[in-house]
């Protein structure tokens, strides 16, 4: 009997010891077969609503295969688990259930315990593999990280890509090590006490090697995205497409033990169904959790400042657990001296940073000049654990023409201040790989496409992207291998100053975040942020669990007087970024605060 269409698992997988199930959605095909590289062919049986299925004993792990549609097209499996010869080659049968997990004692932390570390597999280590990443886990633990966030790993063209050009959502990139290596990495993370977040893309599919449209209406012309055709989540025959991506979500949680997914740019997911695809994903993930007893989180990137995305299903929300807050980043960057150009034009620095500390969104109904409209809505009842903040990430570094990190844009002192501004926030902090030791290497945009026309289109697109930033010079060639190689982390710098000191500083910051009750709890209800626009200083006050914290931040390049709220001697100073032990200029006295620095005080309630 065929599986219900409402819960149709696609692809090739074992249903018994040596019996495989084959399921393909191809609603317009008249005939479908599966051709194995050993010369055998299997005819699939037509089911309702465009599905084709077969059970077979002729497939074993490692076999390569393609689907034959109507005897005139041979194509890789849309739900392939491996593409060992790249996006244009045959698919390979992988038994995900064969991996021997020993992470049974692992329990996914609650969202408020997450301290994220975003990384790109190909540039995080010299080798650019999951195996090499595994050897850095002790380093991340010592830093204070609780969750690694891996940029997309679904199979993309060639072996150099950010990952957002993936075309096989279920297949793990072969040059990174494939499915088993990812399972091994996740297992190792769990045994060391690290959660794993995986970045996934459900708003578009990359251009090269994208054969989904050959099988059925995976895309719709009703909408457009900046990156290609919109995925068909609400047009004719969308049910199977929705199920395809829901099954992808469930696979990462079920078969790879991933703890959380970060869904890329959900504002570009177009769906006017009565039940939005994100709501349905939430429901199905909750069903999975109920059956397994395991907790799974869903985090989104969203450019709409719309709390419906993170409101619970019970309140007619989409049920996402948390979202990235780019506006905190923008306000922080302008506070630290970033030019107000491009998408930074709408941000006024210190005043907006204070607003983001209190309200998360800077724009929650005001008129935005760059958007030419009123923008956003207030996030009134959303706790701090629903917002992820950062001073840099892959987009904010890589989408600069020269891929400059903060370490190349601001002073050593300002780097420390910006790091603290993130860590002391009432939100979930995220670091971008290498920032913790002031990594100077750029993180550039890179690809390894095989189609000349596409390569030139990408080059042209990069040039066009920077026109609002008035940047002189030419963007590095995304196709060049040197662009990729220059983006790799230089780990040798850990043994040199000022990188050694910066690493120690970050460790201290994250330790404060974990140990101080008022910092540990991402509670927005007891936050007060006061900006002094004239002096470019900010006072952040937080309290929780019987403790109060005050953070004095000076974003100016001059020593400033900060009016301390309360009696100074009642407070205990627990950190000063200007201290010489952090290679600072030395702490100020007489109520003054050093340029580009932060001082943190605490006291307990009597």
Binding residues: 262-267, 326-330, 394-399
What does 402-428 look like in DSSP terms, one character per residue?
T---GGGTS-HHHHHHHHHHHHTSSSE
Distance CA 99, CA 569 (A): 59
- β-partners of residue 389 are 429
| Coil, helix or strand at residue 423 | helix
Identify whether 18 is a catalytic site residue. no
Structure tokens at 16: 């018994």
Dmax (CA) of the chain: 84
Identify whether 301 is a catalytic site residue. yes
Q: Which residues make Cβ contacts (< 8 Å) with residue 377, sequence separation at least 6?
A: 305, 306, 307, 361, 364, 365
What does 434-455 look like in DSSP terms, one character per residue?
TGGGT--S--------S-HHHH
Structure tokens at 47: 């089911």
Distance CA 20, CA 340 (A): 58
Residue stretches of the annotated binding site for substrate: 262-267, 326-330, 394-399
Residue pair 593/421 in contact by the 8 Å Cβ criterion = no
Residue pair 438/603 in contact by the 8 Å Cβ criterion = no
Exactly one of 264, 346, 364, 436 is catalytic; name it: 264
Distance of CA 110 to the CA centre of its chain: 18
Q: Are strands 147-150 and 195-200 parallel, antiparallel or unpaired?
A: parallel
Q: Are strands 11-14 and 537-544 parallel, antiparallel or unpaired?
A: unpaired
Distance CA 592, CA 536 (A): 14
**C-alpha to C-alpha distances, 146 to 433, 489, 513, 525, nearest whole angstrom:** 14, 21, 12, 24
Exactly one of 63, 165, 280, 301 is catalytic; name it: 301
Residue positions annotated with a catalytic role: 264, 301
């Amino acid at each position: 009997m065929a599986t219900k269409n409402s819960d149709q698992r696609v692809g090739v997988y074992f249903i018994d010891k040596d019996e495989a199930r084959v399921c393909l959605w191809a609603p317009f095909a008249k005939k479908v077969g599966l051709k194995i590289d050993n010369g055998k062919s299997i005819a699939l049986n037509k089911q309702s609503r465009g599905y084709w299925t077969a059970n077979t004993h002729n497939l074993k792990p490692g076999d390569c295969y393609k689907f034959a549609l109507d005897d005139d097209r041979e194509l890789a499996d849309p739900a392939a688990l491996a593409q060992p010869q790249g996006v244009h080659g045959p698919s390979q049968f992988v038994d995900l259930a064969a991996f021997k997990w020993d992470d049974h004692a692992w329990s996914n932390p609650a969202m408020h315990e997450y301290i994220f570390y975003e990384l790109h597999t190909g540039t995080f280590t010299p080798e650019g593999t999951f195996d090499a990443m595994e050897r850095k886990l002790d380093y991340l633990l010592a830093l204070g990280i609780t969750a690694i966030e891996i940029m997309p790993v679904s199979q993309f063209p060639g072996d150099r890509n950010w990952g957002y050009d993936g075309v096989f959502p279920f297949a793990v990139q072969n040059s990174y090590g494939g499915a088993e290596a990812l399972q091994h990495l996740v297992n190792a993370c769990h045994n060391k006490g690290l959660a794993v977040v995986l970045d996934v893309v459900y708003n578009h599919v990359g251009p090269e090697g994208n054969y989904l449209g050959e099988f059925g209406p995976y895309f719709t012309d009703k909408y457009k995205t900046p990156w290609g055709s919109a995925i068909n989540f609400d047009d004719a025959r969308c049910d199977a497409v929705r199920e395809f991506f829901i099954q992808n979500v469930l696979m990462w949680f079920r078969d790879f033990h991933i703890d959380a997914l970060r869904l890329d740019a959900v504002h570009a997911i177009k769906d006017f169904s009565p039940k939005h695809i994100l709501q349905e994903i939430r429901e199905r993930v909750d069903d999975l959790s109920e059956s397994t007893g395991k907790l799974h989180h869903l985090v989104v990137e969203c450019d709409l400042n719309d709390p419906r995305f993170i409101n619970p299903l019970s309140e007619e929300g989409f049920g996402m657990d948390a979202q990235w807050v780019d506006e905190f980043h923008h306000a922080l960057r302008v506070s630290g001296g970033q030019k107000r150009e491009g998408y930074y034009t709408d941000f006024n620095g210190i005043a907006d940073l204070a607003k983001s500390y209190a309200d998360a969104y800077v724009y929650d109904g005001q008129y935005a000049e760059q958007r030419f409209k009123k923008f956003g809505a207030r996030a009134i009842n959303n706790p701090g654990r629903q917002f992820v903040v950062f001073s840099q990430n892959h987009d904010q570094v890589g989408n600069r023409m020269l891929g400059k990190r903060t370490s190349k844009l601001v002073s050593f002192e300002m780097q420390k201040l910006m790091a603290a501004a993130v860590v002391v926030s009432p939100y979930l902090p995220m670091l971008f790989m290498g920032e913790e030791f002031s990594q100077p290497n750029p993180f550039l945009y890179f690809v390894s496409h095989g189609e000349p026309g596409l390569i030139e289109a990408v080059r042209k697109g990069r040039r066009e992207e920077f026109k609002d930033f008035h940047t002189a010079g030419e963007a590095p060639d995304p196709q060049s291998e040197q662009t990729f190689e220059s983006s790799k982390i230089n780990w040798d710098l850990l043994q040199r100053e000022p990188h050694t000191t910066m690493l120690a500083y970050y460790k201290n910051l994250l330790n404060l975040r974990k140990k101080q009750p008022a910092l540990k709890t991402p509670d927005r209800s007891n936050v007060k942020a006061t900006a002094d626009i004239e002096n470019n200083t900010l006072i952040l006050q937080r309290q929780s669990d019987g403790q109060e914290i005050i953070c004095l931040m000076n974003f100016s390049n001059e020593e400033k007087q900060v009016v301390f709220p309360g009696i100074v001697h009642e407070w205990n100073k627990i950190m000063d970024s200007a201290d010489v032990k952090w290679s600072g200029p030395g702490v100020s006295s007489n109520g003054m605060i050093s340029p580009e620095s932060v001082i943190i005080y605490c006291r307990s309630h009597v």
